[in-house]
Amino acid sequence: MFARYSLSAAPEAVADRFSVDVPKAYQPMFNAAPTHLLPVITNDSSSGLSFFYWGTSPLWANKKSVGEKIINARIETLEEKPVLRKKLRDHRCLIPADGFYAWKRTGKKTSIPYRFVTQDKEMFSMAGLWEEYEDESNEIHHTFSVITRPADSNVSMIDERMPVILDPKNEREWITEADEPFLMTQLKAYHPTLEHYSVSSLVNQPDRNSRLIIMPAPAADQFGNLSLFD
């Protein structure tokens, strides 16, 4: 499961890169995790950043099975499940990022965190789906999920899955077009060259949001044991 990424850029850089208005509420996220309120650009509001919960709102966070189902949407199932096909047609979003994390398992209970970035170290867009729902108190919530695909050769040595990264040239088409075959083509067309490096085990703590998390660190598991596999 894909469950962590970063958007460490300043608001001015985000506004310039994505041609959107960035509200004062924006702040860099070095350790974006499920249940966090995070910036997205939706097909319904493409001129500015919206803030949606990743996967599930905190109200539902204790229901693990619910959260796991909507954190990611596998590209392989988009055309098979009616509910996902409807979201693909009507509720798409861009998820701004500048890196994502994956864990390399080194034992039954140990893993090493790595951060993946593009070769040019620039921001990119992950493809996402969003939804609106009403809770038991009649409050409206907005959530999003990240579309994932099988890992390419850059990532497969660390993890089996990775987020779908969109071609910068076609990002706007992803949120403005509604033709399913076209959208599926966009999800499969782009394969950026990625680089990775090991990071601190601080990333394992979703409540930590420090620039230290995106900095290179010796390959060590969550117990601080250095690895010989990097």
* CATH number of the domain where residue 190 is located: 3.90.1680.10
Q: Kindly report the number of other CB atoms within 10 A of residue 76's CB atom.
A: 10
Residue 221: inside a domain: no
Residue 106: inside a domain: yes
As a whole number, mean pLDDT of residues 207-216 equals 97
pLDDT for the residue numbered 134: 78
Residue 226: inside a domain: no
Residue 224: inside a domain: no
- Which residue blocks in the chain are alpha helix, DSSP H? 11-18, 64-71, 82-90, 171-176, 180-189
pLDDT for the residue numbered 38: 97
Under the banding of pLDDT at 50, 70 and 90, the label for residue 117 is: very high
Nearest to 7 by CA among 34, 21, 27, 35: 27
The structure's pTM equals 0.91
pLDDT for the residue numbered 109: 83
Fill in the amino acid letter for 15.
A
DSSP 209: -
191-201 residue pLDDT tens: 999 999 999 99
pLDDT for the residue numbered 68: 47
Residue 99: inside a domain: yes
Residue 229: inside a domain: no
Flag whether pLDDT at 224 surpasses 80.
Answer: no
Residue 230: inside a domain: no
Domains contained in the chain, number: 1
Answer yes or no: are the C-beta atoms of 160 and 154 closer than 8 Å: no
Residue 219: inside a domain: no
What range defines the domain where residue 197 resides? 5-214
